[in-house]
Structure 1
Amino acid sequence: MSDLLSIGRSGVLAYQGALQTIGENVTNADTAGYSRRSVVLKEQSTYSGAFSLNRSASAFGGVQAAGVQRVWDQYKAANAWATNSDSSNASTRLQYLSTMETMMNDTNNGVGTRLTAVFTAATQLSANPADPSLRQAFLGAINDVTTAFRTTASNLSSLSNTIGTQARVQVDQTNNALDALAKVNLSLKLAAVNSPARAQLEDQRDNILGTLSGSMAIDTSFEADGSVTVRMNNSTGPVLVSSKSTIPSQVQLQSASDGQLQISVRGEDNLVQTAIPTGGTLAGLVGAATTAADRTRQLNGMATDFVTMLHDFQTNGVTDAGIPGRDLVTGTDAASIGMAVTDPPITVADIAAATPGAAIPADPNAPAPDPNAPAPDPNAPVTPTPVQIGVANGNLLSLVANSRGSDGLEQRWKSMVTDQALQVSSAKLQDSAASTSKDTAYSALDATTGVSLDNEAAELLRFQQAYSASAKVIQTARETMQSILDLF
């Protein structure tokens, strides 16, 4: 009779724990990172000793809750983390490449449109080189190009700074996650197997791994106690967290003068390993920074070539006064390019529209030089010797003819914009594919580890019935015992 009471009691306690677990599942059905729990039930055996009326034996003595088991699929989790890395990389890359494409626009204020306006103005001026309004339009078009170069350079610089700032924030978040994971690893080593505390720690561990996978591609290796070793990129990458150490590595960020980024990992032994992230937001930021630096370098090359083109134009031609023209534009890169600041200021008379001819002969009636005059100042500017005008619009025609070929500035700008558009198009396809793969992988993981309210409702009914049955066993045992006692 005592065995019957023990069996009923064991059932009540075991199924009570199962009902509590179901309640926890339902409560956390919408909690991000929560994995469904299930109670591990097993037979409870009783043993009898070697008494005079008994023989040594074991018999079924009810049921007991051996622990709380966390429902988890490591393969599906690893696949979800990998697709999360790919998706974060693709979406970050698309975001910044699209922004760059917008900055290199070909609208009315874009560099390409303004370059075309310069050559158009030069062509119009060549048809009537003496027209002051056309000369002013030519200078205005040149000024507009320098403004477009500076604006684009400023935008690219701001974008590069934004990328660097985001990368630093991401690195800080990654290091915080590594610190937290090292602490969870230590706690897991001390947590009992199949205990609620261990299940909660494993939830925290996998949530951190999910966060890390969004920052970079990771490779994971789990120990029997639940602790994990994490490497960057793959199984041969730098160790980020070791299951055998409580001190995580530190991810470091280096930024070059042109805005390019480099990631390195400083290990527990202070050994620094440089590593290029192959996935995650950091990979997208590093790639975007490299592209921004390339675009800035290309833009600077075009700006300096524009300065050189106009310098050669002015040097090779002559003004209406028969002297070589002064520089119209100065600057060493796209950020510093601008109209030349001179005294006296640049005017339409400084445009060297014509080609030079023969030297102007000396005036035979001019007075002879004074032999007693002081020596000229060697630092004084040299006044060019005037020449006869050759073709009044010849230099303008040469400018248009020699600067608009397949390797001209317009074509180089167009090629850069086209290449950027192709990169954005490719990034959109990669982002769409990576996003779909991520959704599929996380859906598969959620189907295994997530809480289904329909399933929990069915389990609730099953364990309620089992609980009621155990209570009936106790009630029956009590009534039977009472009936026996009533016989006396």
Structure 2
Amino acid sequence: MSDLLSIGASGLKAYSRAMSTVGDNIANAQTPGYARRTLALKEMASGTESALVGRNVSPGGVTIQGISRSIDKWLINDARISSGEAERAATRADWMTKVESALSDDANGISTNLTKLFTTADQLTADPNNVTLRAQFLQSVDDVASGFRSSATQLGAMSEGISDAAQSSVTDLNNNLDALESVNAGLRKARAGSTNEASLLDERDRLIDQISSQMSVTASFDDKGTVTLRAAGTGDTLVGNATVTHVAIATAAEGRLGFTAGGAAIDPGSGNLAGLSQAADHVADQRAGLDAAAAQFAGQLNAAHQAGTDANGNAGQPLFAGTTAATLTATPLSASQVAAANGSGTNGNMLAIGGMRGANDPEAAWASRLASQAQATSSSRAQFAAAATRADGAAAARDSVSGVDLDQEAADLLRFQQAYSAAARTIQVARETMQALLSAI
């Protein structure tokens, strides 16, 4: 009779815990990083069991072995790698789009004003003494200079924005590294198979996922589940042996980013830090290219204008001052100081300036720069689309193992409810039987 009672009692305890586990699964079905849990149950042999004679074994109830998480380590690692690459591609594509916008004609009007400058020069060849056209020519010069300054300002602000975003991301990364070591400390003390251990393992995996979305890392685990995290590119330990090595960032004068861990240079490899680093390099290249374009353009126009003479017979003066896009300004000239003439006639210099149009003229060079940026932006978007598709597939594959299926949980809940009712009925039968025996005495 006592065996019957113990069988029922063990069943009540086990199936109550099982229903609680199913309830946790249902409640956390949409919780990021939560891995489906199952309660491992095992038949408990009665006290008459003999290790040498199997037939002496009789039912003794059910015992709880512990909670296990439904995971596939390969799928988890693949999801982390693809997620990090998608974050890198997304971050880079976002900033590439912003660069394209900063260089576009809508933002700075350089293309429009270059065309206007040469169109006005062509018009002056027909009417070189027209004061209005001369003023329009000088205004287009000023508008082009203003466009270069505007682009330089936007790219400079963009470089600062990337640096600030990278600094914020590094701060988050270091916080996650600290939190991961705290989880390691908890895992060292957690009881195997406990709900606490499962929760800590979920948090461990969630933090590694977060870190992987920021930079490329490799993870190894001991028998307690504590993780040793290393930078994938260099192998430098970030978390391990109860210590944490923080990542530091430095921004060069031109805006390029550098990362170190414990004083040693590291390459983020993937994740949003890698995307920010690539974006910073691209913006730095564009800023240098913009400065070169401004200097080349100003040099060409200055030389062409100085080759002519103005309305007063004086030698033409430079149209532009400044050596970079940010410092490019129009020289303050009056309409009479436009050097439209040269030795060949009153419109000779305007004819020469109009003749600059061709395969290598400033208009064509700027159009080529815009086309190159547009192609690079389009390529970055295509890379992001491919990386996002792969990341979605990897996440779906991981979730097919670790995710919670509400239909399955509902079926398990019904099964355990019935088992719980059966266990309760077992105790009731034992009670009724005992009562009947006592009443017969």
Q: TM-score range by the shorter chain?
A: over 0.9
Measured in 1, the distance between the counterparts of 2:111 and 2:142 equals 14
Partner in structure 2 of residue 386 of structure 1? none
Q: Cα deviation per residue 1:217-266 (whole Å; 9 max; x = unaligned)?
A: 222222221111222235x5332222xx2221111111111111122222
How far did residue 172 of structure 1 move? 0.6
Q: Cα deviation per residue 1:444-476 (whole Å; 9 max; x = unaligned)?
A: 222211222211111111111211222222222
Q: Which residue identity is paired with 1:474?
A: I
Measured in 2, the distance between the counterparts of 1:81 and 1:466 equals 39
Alignment of 1:200-219 (within 5 A): 200-219=199-218
* Residues 1:304 and 2:257 aligned together: no
Alignment of 1:172-251 (within 5 A): 172-233=171-232, 236-242=234-240, 245-251=241-247
For 2:276, which of 260, 285, 303 is the aligned residue?
A: 285
* Residues 1:395 and 2:377 aligned together: no
Partner in structure 2 of residue 135 of structure 1? 134
Q: Cα deviation per residue 1:343-400 (whole Å; 9 max; x = unaligned)?
A: xxx21222222225xxxxxxxxxxxxxxxxxxxxxxxxxxxxxxxxx53222222223
Partner in structure 2 of residue 260 of structure 1? 256
Q: CA RMSD in A?
A: 2.0
The answer to whether the 8 Å contact 2:108/2:148 transfers is no
> Which piece of structure 1 moves more, 475-484 or 93-102?
475-484
How far did residue 83 of structure 1 move? 1.6
Measured in 2, the distance between the counterparts of 1:306 and 1:460 equals 75
Regions of 4+ moved over 6 Å: none
Q: Which residue identity is paired with 2:401?
A: T
Measured in 2, the distance between the counterparts of 1:116 and 1:257 equals 34
Measured in 2, the distance between the counterparts of 1:26 and 1:326 equals 79
Q: 1:407 to 1:238 in 2, by over 3 A?
A: farther
Paired residue secondary structure (2:244): coil
Measured in 1, the distance between the counterparts of 2:403 and 2:246 equals 33
User: Is the radius of gyration larger for structure 1 or structure 2?
Assistant: 1
What is the total number of aligned residue pairs between the two structures?
A: 436
* Residues 1:463 and 2:411 aligned together: no
Partner in structure 2 of residue 28 of structure 1? 28
Paired residue secondary structure (1:215): coil
The answer to whether the 8 Å contact 1:104/1:110 transfers is no
Paired residue secondary structure (2:105): coil
Q: Cα deviation per residue 1:111-144 (whole Å; 9 max; x = unaligned)?
A: 1221122111112212222222221111111111
Partner in structure 2 of residue 295 of structure 1? 286
Q: 1:108 to 1:481 in 2, by over 3 A?
A: closer
Paired residue secondary structure (1:258): coil
The answer to whether the 8 Å contact 1:108/1:114 transfers is no
Q: Which residue identity is paired with 1:400?
A: G
* Residues 1:147 and 2:138 aligned together: no
Measured in 2, the distance between the counterparts of 1:275 and 1:257 equals 19
The answer to whether the 8 Å contact 1:107/1:113 transfers is no
Measured in 2, the distance between the counterparts of 1:156 and 1:419 equals 16
The answer to whether the 8 Å contact 2:102/2:108 transfers is no
Q: Cα deviation per residue 1:399-418 (whole Å; 9 max; x = unaligned)?
A: 232x3332322222111111
Q: 1:469 to 1:98 in 2, by over 3 A?
A: same
Measured in 2, the distance between the counterparts of 1:251 and 1:110 equals 41
Alignment of 1:336-485 (within 5 A): 336-341=327-332, 346-356=333-343, 390-401=344-355, 403-485=356-438
Q: Cα deviation per residue 1:74-117 (whole Å; 9 max; x = unaligned)?
A: 11111111121111111111111111111211349521221122
Q: Which residue identity is paired with 1:397?
A: L
Q: As a proportion of its length, which structure holds more helix? A: 2
Measured in 2, the distance between the counterparts of 1:276 and 1:40 equals 43
Measured in 1, the distance between the counterparts of 2:309 and 2:267 equals 55
* Residues 1:158 and 2:149 aligned together: no
Q: Which residue identity is paired with 1:398?
A: A
The answer to whether the 8 Å contact 2:145/2:330 transfers is yes
Measured in 2, the distance between the counterparts of 1:49 and 1:227 equals 38
How far did residue 285 of structure 1 move? 1.0
The answer to whether the 8 Å contact 1:233/1:279 transfers is no
Measured in 1, the distance between the counterparts of 2:398 and 2:435 equals 54
The answer to whether the 8 Å contact 2:101/2:107 transfers is no
Q: 1:208 to 1:283 in 2, by over 3 A?
A: same
Q: 1:87 to 1:132 in 2, by over 3 A?
A: same
Structure 1 gaps of 5+ residues are: 51-56, 267-271, 357-389
The answer to whether the 8 Å contact 1:216/1:283 transfers is yes
How far did residue 12 of structure 1 move? 1.4
Partner in structure 2 of residue 110 of structure 1? 109
How far did residue 479 of structure 1 move? 2.7
> Which piece of structure 1 moves more, 175-184 or 442-451?
442-451
Q: Which residue identity is paired with 2:430?
A: A
How far did residue 40 of structure 1 move? 1.0
Measured in 1, the distance between the counterparts of 2:83 and 2:27 equals 27
Partner in structure 1 of residue 323 of structure 2? 332
How far did residue 49 of structure 1 move? 10
Give the TM-score taking structure 2 as reference length: 0.93
Q: Cα deviation per residue 1:29-75 (whole Å; 9 max; x = unaligned)?
A: 2222222211111122344699xxxxxx7654211112111222211
Measured in 1, the distance between the counterparts of 2:212 and 2:271 equals 6
Structure 2 gaps of 5+ residues are: 51-55
